[in-house]
Amino acid sequence: MDQFIFSAAEIARYNRHIIIPGFGMEAQEKLKKAKVLVVGAGGLGSPVLLYLAAAGIGTIGIVECDVVDDSNLQRQVLYGTADVGTAKAEAAKKRLLSLNPHIHIIIHDTELRSSNAMDIISAYDIVADGTDNFPTRYLVNDACVLMDKPNVYASIYQFEGQVAVFNYVDSSGERGPNYRDLYPVPPEPGEVANCSEAGVLGVLPGIIGSMQALEVIKIAAQTGDVLSGRLFLFDALSFETRTFNISRNPENPINGSNPTLRALIDYEQFCGVPAMEKKIKNVSPEQLQDWQEEGIVYQLIDVREQQEYDLVNLGGLLIPLDTIGDLPQKIDKDKKVVIHCKSGGRSAKAVRLLEEKYGFTNLYNLEGGLIAYIYALELDLPVY
């Protein structure tokens, strides 16, 4: 192995890796040659990117089109207060190169879609999925399977996290399961809230993201026992962990016994997102303001939790989502009813539930929720 692939500065930097028995210069060179794509530079992406950069992964791609917001800083340790309002991808690149100037960072300032996923992912050896929505998770999974790339997956929810490695081929040539083997079908739209809706303990993505980075490093360095065929679960409140075995499903539509998926599909449609949006009526923040100016009488219902309501509210009637289905008598049937949450997911589910269960026809979901309303009307209210 030619150690002169590294400069003297790099050898000094990676010394603590190089002196590990069984790792050494050979594994460090594999890290330098590796090309890793991180999808999402948020809560999970932050620790993943920091540790991959520090470890010396030679080429790191970042797929991220969001901007840094104040509410990110509680958990997205890649950014600082000075980064608020700037593009996450650019801020991430600047931070990572300040941490390790010996690596190459490629920015993909775009949303990953079926139309671009194959082109973007094809340039990398390993993909780390740090997203928080089901359409993108299925998209990443299917693209990785179609292009024979390992997919290092993680997710977080409030106090819980999980990690797994999908579509990994071990040294004996045996291929492990993928995301569709674990979750054959997506949940109903709105059934599982993301972090912006449900919240997440700030330290949790640091813990789970570090484990995700660890699996990427093990794959790149070809060392250790990779978390393939297993799902690792962590409960931060009890500090308990569990590991479940995952088997390949012969009915898997993308690589089972009789695969039917041979190309990427419309993943929002697959996950039912458009169907939910078409089924309910929406009102934009601007339209709601027009109603107010025109004197249109309506009832405003907030389906968030009490602690969210206490932090900031629009004065609506608080009926948390998990109780609204049992309290139809509190909802007016004789005038327009606007239901809102933080960003529109929970309220959309509430509208659909009430329409299907009780036949309401006068319900409107506030598009973008409380956050969109505050920004659109430039209100002097806190955004969490």
For residue range 3-31, list pLDDT tens digits in order.
458 999 999 999 999 999 999 999 999 99
- Provide the residue ranges of all domains of the chain, joining segments of one domain with +: 34-273, 280-377
Among candidates 353, 364, 349, 366, which has minimal Cα distance to 327? 353
The CA-based dihedral angle spanning residues 370, 65, 194, 214, taken in that order and rounded to the nearest 10 degrees: -150
By residue count, the chain amounts to: 384
**What are 132-161's pLDDT values in tens digits?**
889 999 999 999 999 999 999 999 999 999
**Residue 360: phi, psi to the nearest 5?**
-60, 140
- Mean pLDDT value across residues 218-228: 97
pTM exceeds 0.85: no
**What are 45-101's pLDDT values in tens digits?**
999 999 999 999 999 999 999 989 888 899 999 999 999 889 999 999 999 999 999
Multiple choice CATH, 34-273, 3.30.300.30, 3.20.20.140, 3.40.50.720, 3.60.20.30? 3.40.50.720
Check residue 2 and report its DSSP letter. Answer: -
Q: Which residue has the tokens 């970042």?
A: 62
Residue 278 has what pLDDT? 47
Looking at the annotation, which residues are catalytic?
195, 341
**What are 96-127's pLDDT values in tens digits?**
999 999 999 999 999 999 999 999 999 999 99
280-377, superfamily in CATH? Rhodanese-like domain (3.40.250.10)
For the ranges 61-70, 224-233, 341-350, the one whose mean pLDDT is highest: 224-233
Q: What is the largest CA-CA distance in the chain?
A: 79
Beta bridge pairs of residue 336 = 298
Lowest mean pLDDT among 10-24, 92-106, 212-226, 275-289: 275-289
Higher per-residue confidence, 297 vs 383: 297
